[in-house]
Amino acid sequence: MKRMKLAFLFYIFTAFCFYSCQDIEIENNKRITVSGKLVDQDGNPLQNINVQSVVEEYTMGTGSSNVSGDFSYVSLQSYSNDFVTLINRKKGFNFNQSPAVNENYASARIINYDEDDFLRVNKYELGSFEIPKAATLEFSIEKISSEDKNLNWSLRLYNTNCDYAYRDTIEPIENFCYEVYYIARNQDSIKPNYQGRFYSLASKPAVFTYTINNNATQSITIPLTNATNNYVFEY
């Protein structure tokens, strides 16, 4: 009976490994080198920025930039077009979280690798990447008036991730690179107050637009000059 249990456990383990490898299609246990350089918007090298290659939820290889901003690491290769390189980016995150590992900087994702490369290349030289600074906005709305008021508002921010396509050269993907996004809400007597945390590019101010009781629309520019910025709107 004990031998039967051991044999069964061995079978389950073997089947799990087989199907896991089948799912991510590792190309004959092949290794490749992934290298590049990371700089900020002023051209200064970025140190200790995480870089990793993933296929779905599996990590194929990982590295980190050195004092000169250079990174180089060995990764397993997959000839699935789900092979992705993440620069300062988490594998998974919620909408109300920053996609970045280091939240002081933006992140990047390199996708759409040419499937022909999977059979003929031993390295990906990604070149130099500019990773701009990011900022956190702690944003609050507080009703201080005793009058009945209806507040419609929106907040314009910038996505802190850029997606790139790898086709001999690396090009940003239109509409998926530090694009504008909006948060829009309504505050009334039932929900007069609001509080949220948002992430945006530090080089671009947030814009808060609002109207009270359908009166004229007003806009306020909120500079994002610090790593963490606080803004409270009272009405």
Give me the number of domains the chain comprises.
2
The model carries a pTM of 0.80
CA separation (Å) from 132 to 88, 140, 178? 11, 26, 10
Same-domain check for residues 140 and 126? no
* Digit-coded pLDDT (tens) for 8-66: 333 333 443 433 444 555 555 678 999 999 999 999 999 999 999 998 889 999 999 99
Same-domain check for residues 107 and 87? yes
72: pLDDT strictly greater than 70: yes
What pLDDT does residue 27 have?
A: 54
* Digit-coded pLDDT (tens) for 106-138: 999 998 776 655 556 788 899 999 999 999 999
Same-domain check for residues 139 and 222? yes
Q: Which domain holds residue 199?
A: 134-159+178-234
Same-domain check for residues 35 and 64? yes
Same-domain check for residues 138 and 125? no
157: pLDDT strictly greater than 70: yes
CA separation (Å) from 149 to 122, 146, 191, 193, 212? 64, 9, 11, 12, 7
What pLDDT does residue 21 have?
A: 43
78 or 159, higher pLDDT = 159
The mean pLDDT of the chain is: 86
Same-domain check for residues 81 and 65? yes
Residue pair 221/228 in contact by the 8 Å Cβ criterion: no
What pLDDT does residue 26 have?
A: 55
212: pLDDT strictly greater than 60: yes
CATH for 187: 2.60.40.2890
CA separation (Å) from 198 to 11, 43, 86, 98, 176? 48, 26, 21, 8, 18
Same-domain check for residues 139 and 229? yes
In single-letter form, the type of residue at position 23 comes to D
